[in-house]
Amino acid sequence: MIVNPALARNHTLANTYQIRRTLSVSELSIVYVARHIEQGTLHVIKEFFPSALVQRKKDRRHIDCHEPGLGSKYREMLETFRSEAEILSQINHQGIIRYVQYFEENGTAYLVTEYCKGITLDQFMEEHPTEVTNDFLVERLVPVIRALEYIHSLGYIHRDVRPSNILIGEDGQTKLLDFGSAVRYQERTHTILTTAGYSPIEFYSGRSVQGPVSDIYSLAATLYFCCQGKAPIDVPKRLFHDTLEPLRDMNKVSPILTRVIHWGLAVSAQKRCASLKWFKVAMRAERLWERKFILMNGKKKLANDHKSTIKK
């Protein structure tokens, strides 16, 4: 029988937060919505829970390793989780989920962030495909571009930009989520963490040169997903025979944005778009392109209506 590893509803953490519900369970963590007991505000709490290494004890609170020999690996991974909290604590940007607190309890660690009501970009695409217009791309993804510019200026790269890590808020704001893979890009070695379709080729090596251009690949892949309805083909499959489906046939996307997306998806980092400013330029052009597209369609409709009137 599979036992739910999540903490129970109404469980109290740090004598401050009361769990209201479980948001998600992944291989590395469990995410909850919790209420601040004194203030009454809602927060998101991520519990470090690498299920391959640990299990919940019989008290349904504390955790321990499946086997004693897994302790060193657990502590190593816990350091990565602490690093996420440390990086997020240094960030203050309206396009990035806000850090609230980090604490350790129950033999593990917890990261508290602001609670924003909304759904992720991939969920939005699935539920509202017809609403993903050119204006939507500009309004919702320009804040992500600005957020990336900001973290790059601090010396960090996100390393996991993808639709499921972009929150479309009900308040109209867009937030970049999950800094679990973020690192200082001047570091010489990196943990290998990849997401099929969204990770550049340099993420498949722990000793490769990684930098802002790496996040640019993931951003371009996210835009490709918005335009094409699916992620690009995984980059290792493109090394010797590039079968990436072009965006050329999508006449609602401007030629400028199409070129910038494909430039950002270059397999080689040396041939890839190296500056986010080109994405901002392409986004500005996108608004003009949509107005032109609407105007042209409007003229065609008027012409067709006129022809119908003449025939009558």
Confidence of residue 75 (pLDDT cuts 50, 70, 90): very high
pTM of this structure = 0.87
Contact 59, 107 (CB under 8 A): no
Contact 241, 174 (CB under 8 A): no
Q: Average per-residue pLDDT in the chain? A: 89
Determine which of 55-64, 106-115, 205-214, 286-295 has the lowest per-residue pLDDT on average: 286-295
- Count CB-CB contacts under 10 A for residue 8: 10
List of domains in the chain = 12-114 (3.30.200.20), 118-294 (1.10.510.10)
Bridge partners, residue 17, by sequence: 13, 36
- CB within 8 Å of 242: residues ≥ 6 apart: 267
The edge-to-edge listing of strands for the beta sheet with 118-120 is 118-120, 166-169, 174-176
Across 56-94, b (16+ Cβ under 10 Å) vs e yields beeeeeebbbeeeeeeeebeebbebbebbbebbeebebe
Confidence of residue 297 (pLDDT cuts 50, 70, 90): low
Quick check: is 160 catalytic? Answer: yes
In this structure, which amino acid lies at residue 71? Answer: G
- Comparing 26 with 188, the larger pLDDT belongs to 26
Confidence of residue 14 (pLDDT cuts 50, 70, 90): very high
**Model confidence pLDDT, tens digit, residues 167-180:** 999 988 999 999 99
Determine which of 75-89, 248-262, 273-287 has the lowest per-residue pLDDT on average: 248-262
Annotated catalytic residue: which of 122, 160, 178, 215? 160
Query: 118 phi and psi, to 5 degrees?
Result: 165, -165
The edge-to-edge listing of strands for the beta sheet with 12-13 is 12-13, 17-25, 29-36, 42-48, 108-114, 99-105
Tokens of 50: 């690498």
